[in-house]
Amino acid sequence: MHHNPRKRFGQNFLIDQQIIADIIDTIYPRKDDRIIEIGPGLGALTRPLLQIVDHLDVVEIDRDIVDKLDKEFSKEKLTIHSTDALKFDFSVLGERQRIVGNLPYNISTPLLFHLSQFSKHILDMHFMLQKEVVERMVGTPSTSDYGRLSVMLQYRFDMEYVFSVPAESFRPIPKVESAIVRMTPRDDSSRDAKDEILFSQIVASAFSQRRKTLRNTLHSYLGLSDFNSLDIDPGLRAENLSVAQFVAISNFLTLSTKHKAT
């Protein structure tokens, strides 16, 4: 399948056959898996996946690629959702979804946040992303990679950096290296925020001025006595807190608000 890459869609096509084989081994698809591929492109993963699974769903925004896929594969084997993945309702594809894809670098972060909304429908996800983004996704507290993206994704998923992919594995060759990440929805409901909108706001505020302390970034939410109640040092920065501590702050505020309201 020939196709001229389009910059507006952030298209870089995977051509390294060994990397493709390694990705398939990592996904470890089985015959009756419900697999959804985002951005199938030239079919580098689509073809080997269809050699194993009974049926595959793909989400593709490029109409030219949609036409090429439609001509190459039967509707019994491949269902094409010709739409923007950022607007697609993944819940319509049922439960225990296994989502895979080489995600466009230019929309990777908003797409990851969009997919997080459907975590209850997902069994696991395997993505190829810019290496720097994957390092942020799996970042741990008190490191430079750890930030809002780390906290918000790790709140819903267990993350694993699987392996690196050199730039030479793509055409056209991108200016950055890539990596494969595995995301598995966590099943520990005890770590849930009681108000997820507030949790998101707390995390965003805490990281809004990364070099400032929590005393400054969260001053509109917490006083010194609140920090004491939470056993959190207000002199710390956002990058020093674990996901569980951000949840604790959110839940503390939710319960305090309800208590004041009554």
CA separation for the pair 119, 243 (Å, rounded): 17
Residue 260 has a pLDDT of 55
pLDDT of residue 187: 84
Contact criterion met (CB below 8 Å) for 179 and 131: yes
Higher pLDDT, 191 or 128: 128
DSSP 29-97: --TT-EEEEE--TTTTTHHHHHTTSS-EEEEE--HHHHHHHHHHS-TTTEEEEES-TTT--GGGG-SSE
**Cβ atoms within 10 A of the Cβ of 117, count?**
12
Please determine, for residue 208, whether its predicted confidence score (pLDDT) is greater than 50: yes
Q: What is the pLDDT of residue 11?
A: 54
Which residues have a Cβ under 8 Å from the Cβ of 153 and sit 6 or more positions away?
Answer: 112, 116, 137, 159, 183
Q: Torsions phi, psi of 210, nearest 5?
A: -55, -35
Query: What integer is the mean pLDDT of 233-261?
Result: 90
Q: What is the mean pLDDT of the chain?
A: 91
**Which pLDDT does position 13 carry in this prediction?**
77
pLDDT per position as a tens digit, 235-248: 999 999 999 999 99
In 3D space, the residue among 100, 94, 66, 121 whose CA is nearest the CA of residue 182 turns out to be: 100
CB atoms within 10 A of CB 174: 15
| pTM recorded for the entire structure | 0.90
The mean pLDDT of 43-63, rounded to a whole number, is: 95
Q: State the pLDDT confidence band at 184, using cuts at 50, 70 and 90.
A: very high
Question: Is 57's pLDDT higher than 80?
Answer: yes
List the single range of 139-143, 146-150, 250-254, 258-262 with lowest mean pLDDT: 258-262
Q: What is the Cα–Cα distance from 28 to 31, expressed in whole angstroms? A: 10
Please give the Cα distance from 115 to 166 (Å, whole number). 26
Q: Domains in the chain, ordered, with CATH?
A: 7-187 (3.40.50.150), 191-261 (1.10.8.100)
